[in-house]
């Protein structure tokens, strides 16, 4: 991959990662509930799903998913249901579950990784987006495997930095939460954002073949 091509892809990765989506909402929610270091496990799960999606596209399965109404629908509606579930859990979370002093709740790393993985993996739009974007930066005369590896490493590195920002921003907000009504408002804000993301995902339609 030529340097100028990689630089263009690098810029595209920042634009993609900074765009607010379900992954950003999940990262902020995790930072809010568990603090930065514990909540950041969610970002690891997001990246594992991203790597899986890139592998799916590189293997050619992405094209099949993009043209299969059944596969697209199954993944989409699972994602909608999961985001609604996360929204409901956040909405009904008690104010006392956000701790501003002392020890914060200890979310299990594996649970947070799985949560992040499911948020990204259950979005069929992501696979179609990767299917549409990545080939534009490929040079057919060079090894496709190496190019996919370079792009995967670039996307993951950029997204880890961006999600660190989202997680850290929400974790810092913990210091300003002193009153139960403030905590309840923030919980319901994030719950509403999850449900809004689910509603947006529900409107996604498979592109006509």
pLDDT in tens, the chain (209 residues): 788 888 888 988 887 788 777 888 888 888 888 888 888 999 999 999 999 989 988 887 666 666 677 777 777 787 788 778 878 877 877 665 555 444 555 668 899 999 999 988 887 767 777 877 787 788 878 888 888 999 999 999 999 999 999 899 888 876 666 566 766 777 777 778 778 877 876 776 655 54
Tell me, yes or no, whether 77 lies in a domain: yes
pLDDT at 43: 94
Q: Give the Cα separation of 35 and 171 in Å (integer).
A: 5
Number of structural domains (the chain) is: 1
pLDDT at 209: 47
CA angle 149, 10, 158 (to 5 degrees): 75
Tell me, yes or no, whether 86 lies in a domain: yes
Tell me, yes or no, whether 171 lies in a domain: yes
Tell me, yes or no, whether 149 lies in a domain: yes
Tell me, yes or no, whether 146 lies in a domain: yes
Enclosing domain of residue 184: 22-202
Tell me, yes or no, whether 12 lies in a domain: no
pLDDT at 205: 67
Q: Where are the alpha helices (DSSP H) in the chain?
A: 3-18, 22-34, 36-39, 41-58, 61-67, 69-92, 109-121, 124-133, 144-173, 180-202
Tell me, yes or no, whether 1 lies in a domain: no
Tell me, yes or no, whether 60 lies in a domain: yes
Say what the pTM is. 0.75
């Amino acid at each position: 991959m030529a340097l100028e091509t990689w630089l263009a892809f690098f810029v595209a990765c920042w634009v993609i990662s900074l765009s607010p989506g379900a992954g950003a909402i999940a990262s902020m929610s995790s930072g809010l509930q568990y603090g930065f270091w514990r909540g950041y496990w969610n970002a690891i799960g997001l990246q594992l799903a991203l790597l899986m999606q890139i592998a799916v596209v590189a293997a050619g399965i992405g094209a099949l998913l993009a043209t299969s109404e059944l596969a697209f629908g199954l993944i989409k509606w699972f994602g909608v249901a999961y985001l609604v579930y996360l929204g409901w859990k956040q909405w009904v979370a008690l104010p006392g579950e956000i701790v501003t002093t002392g020890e914060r709740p200890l979310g299990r790393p594996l649970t947070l990784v799985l949560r992040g993985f499911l948020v990204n993996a259950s979005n069929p739009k992501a696979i179609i987006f990767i299917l549409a974007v990545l080939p534009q930066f490929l040079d057919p005369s060079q090894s496709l495997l190496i190019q996919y590896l370079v792009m995967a490493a670039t996307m993951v590195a950029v997204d880890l930095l961006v999600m660190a920002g989202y997680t850290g921003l929400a974790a810092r907000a913990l210091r300003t939460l002193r009153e139960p009504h403030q905590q309840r408002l923030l919980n319901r804000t994030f719950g509403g954002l999850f449900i809004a993301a689910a509603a947006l995902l529900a409107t996604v339609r498979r592109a006509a073949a």
